[in-house]
Each structure stands twice: as C-alpha cells, then as structure tokens.
Amino acid sequence: MHGYGWAIWLIALVVFGIAEAATVSMVSLWFMGGALAAMIAQFLGAGPWVQIAVFLVVSAVLLACLRPFVRKFVSPKRTATNIDALIGREAIITEVVDDLRATGALKLDGREWTARSAAGETLPVGTVVKIVKIEGVKLYVEPVCAAVT
C-alpha cells in the first residue's frame, strides 16, 4: 500500500459511497469516513497496518456514535394511512350493533361502515364508540359513553 495506497483508499471510498447510495442503510456511510481517514493517514506517511487500524477504528467510532443520532432525524415518522388511520377514532352508531344477529352500522367521515362490538355486547343507536380493531370491512368498536338521544 506504499506509494499508491491512497488510490486503494479512494477506490474503497467510492465503492462504499456507491453501496450507500444503492442501499441507503446508513452503514457504508461510516466506512466512507474510515476510508477517508485511512487515506489521510497514508498521505501523512503511516504504514499499511496503521492505515488499516485507522480505517477500522474511525469506522467503528463513527458507526457507534453517530448512526443512532442521524437515524433519529433521517428516519421517516410512520403515519397510519387509509384504513389503519380509523383505529382509535370515535363514531356514532347508526344501526343497533348486535353480534348475534350480525347487524350494526356506524357513520364515519360521511361513510357507512359495518360495525361489531369488540366485547360482544349490544350497542343502541346513538352510542358513541371508539374503533379498536378492523377485520376486512368490519369495524370492531367499544362504547365511549351512553347513547345520545
């Protein structure tokens, strides 16, 4: 690695950069920093074993110290979308919910949904309920308060 050792580290830097761009896993990024530090060590006259040690130490330190910090700010926040966004919302029963008779409906955001009681109880029209589970097109609910008249 004497003489043209910098070229090896430059190639490693480019390969790690391509790998990071292809995977976006934030692992190769830290090896790029290690390769850059090793290349600088080579320019300063360090031997091959020192360069390798610098590469390993700098990569490990960057990975251990900065990855959790960067991941916190780069990772997107998961937002419930579509049907999953209904869980936890409240609605009003528009048709008596009776699991034995397989009846029940509620209206949410202007749409009529099939409703079932999560606990198996009968819920009268006007009961304010919270959606706790979804199976297919059925919303499983539990009462929040008594029927509104």
What's the CA gap between 112 and 130, in Å, rounded? Answer: 15
Whether the Cβ atoms of residue 70 and residue 104 lie closer than 8 Å to each other: no
The two beta strands, 90-98 and 127-135, are: antiparallel
Provide the pLDDT for residue 149: 53
Identify the domain containing residue 129 by its residue range.
82-147
Do residues 57 and 116 both lie within one domain? no
In this structure, what token pair is assigned to residue 90?
Answer: 């409240």
Residue 71 has pLDDT above 90, yes or no: no
Provide the pLDDT for residue 64: 85
Do residues 57 and 93 both lie within one domain? no
Whether the Cβ atoms of residue 115 and residue 93 lie closer than 8 Å to each other: yes
Highest mean pLDDT among 40-44, 61-65, 145-149: 40-44
Do residues 28 and 10 both lie within one domain? yes
Which among 25, 17, 57 has a CA at the least distance from the CA of 41? Answer: 57
Q: What is the mean pLDDT of residues 60-86?
A: 72
Provide the pLDDT for residue 19: 85
Percent of the chain scoring above 70 in pLDDT: 85
How many structural domains does the chain have?
Answer: 2
Give me the long-range contacts of 76-85 (CB less than 8 A, separation at least 24): 83/134, 84/134
Give me the long-range contacts of 48-55 (CB less than 8 A, separation at least 24): 48/1, 48/2, 48/5, 51/1, 51/5, 51/9, 55/9, 55/31
What's the CA gap between 54 and 42, in Å, rounded? Answer: 10
Do residues 63 and 93 both lie within one domain? no
Residue that finishes a domain, picked among 17, 46, 74: 74
Do residues 91 and 126 both lie within one domain? yes
Do residues 128 and 97 both lie within one domain? yes
Residue 145 has pLDDT above 60, yes or no: yes
Give bridge partners of residue 112 from the DSSP assignment: 107
What's the CA gap between 91 and 114, in Å, rounded? Answer: 12
